[in-house]
Amino acid sequence: MDETKIDWAQRSLAELATHIVAVHHGYCRRELPRLSELFAEAVKESGGRYATLADLLAGFRRVSRALGSHLLKEESILFPLIERIEAAQEAHTPPPTLCFGSVGNPIRMMVLEHSEAEVELQKMRVATRGFQPPEGAGPKLMELCRTLRAFDDDMTRHVELEDQSLFPRAVAAEQKALG
Ligand SMILES: [Fe+2]
Ligand SMILES: [Fe+2]
């Protein structure tokens, strides 16, 4: 399925959240361990020839660690909440009452975490001139750069779907359900 051909504005928030979890969270869970292995192999292969690799690995570890809990928070707290808000709006019943106030509060937290990941990814993009392998790179380092670029592209799309579609629509649905 080519998600860019889907008009997400016409789909329910529940469908969009399910799609994000299946496609983008699934991608992270598959690719983060693979990237970790590729880093180890590329470090071994290059034998300390590329100083940037250590910085790249440190940045990747920060993103990977932060993403682990970020995905869980979305899946176990925020997305189910968004589905309940949408259901309340459709049923013309009051939105769920939350211990943390409006849904805008956990959303702000997730948006902040997206920005933190973006700062790390931007540093990695700059250091590698868009994930280009250095001159004389071996096959593992080439594969690492390719996989990092694909990961970066997927993150861009993932964050765009949440920040520009799912989250603002959830805030609007809560407002509507509040009447
Ligand atoms: Fe997500
Ligand atoms: Fe997110």
Tell me how far the alpha carbon of residue 21 lies from the centroid of ligand 1, in angstroms.
7
Q: Write out the H or E segment, with its range, that includes residue 130.
A: none
pLDDT band at 40 (very low <50, low <70, confident <90, very high): very high
Whole-number pLDDT of residue 160: 97
Tell me how far the alpha carbon of residue 15 lies from the centroid of ligand 1, in angstroms.
14
Task: Centre a 10 Å sphere on the Cβ of residue 144 and count the other Cβ atoms it contains.
Answer: 30
Q: Where are the alpha helices (DSSP H) in the chain?
A: 13-19, 26-46, 52-73, 79-91, 104-127, 139-161, 167-178
| 105 CB-near residues (< 8 Å, 6+ apart) | 98
**Rounded Cα distance, 102 and 28, in Å:** 28
Nearest ligand to the CA of 111 is 2
Tell me how far the alpha carbon of residue 8 lies from the centroid of ligand 1, in angstroms.
15
pTM: 0.94
pLDDT in tens, 109-162: 999 999 999 999 999 999 999 999 999 999 999 999 999 999 999 999 999 999
State the chain's mean pLDDT as an integer.
94
Tell me how far the alpha carbon of residue 75 lies from the centroid of ligand 1, in angstroms.
8
Tell me how far the alpha carbon of residue 138 lies from the centroid of ligand 1, in angstroms.
33
Tell me how far the alpha carbon of residue 17 lies from the centroid of ligand 1, in angstroms.
8
Tell me how far the alpha carbon of residue 137 lies from the centroid of ligand 1, in angstroms.
33
CB 108 within 8 A of CB 100: no
The residue whose two tokens read 């590698």 is 128
Please name which of 78, 76, 98 lies closest in space to residue 13, comparing C-alpha atoms. Answer: 78
**Rounded Cα distance, 131 and 164, in Å:** 26
pLDDT surpasses 70 at 1: no
Those residues whose beta carbon sits under 5 angstroms from the ion ligand 2 are: 110, 162
Task: Centre a 10 Å sphere on the Cβ of residue 160 and count the other Cβ atoms it contains.
Answer: 11
**Rounded Cα distance, 51 and 27, in Å:** 29
Nearest ligand to the CA of 75 is 1
pLDDT in tens, 51-98: 899 999 999 999 999 999 999 999 999 999 999 999 999 998 888 877
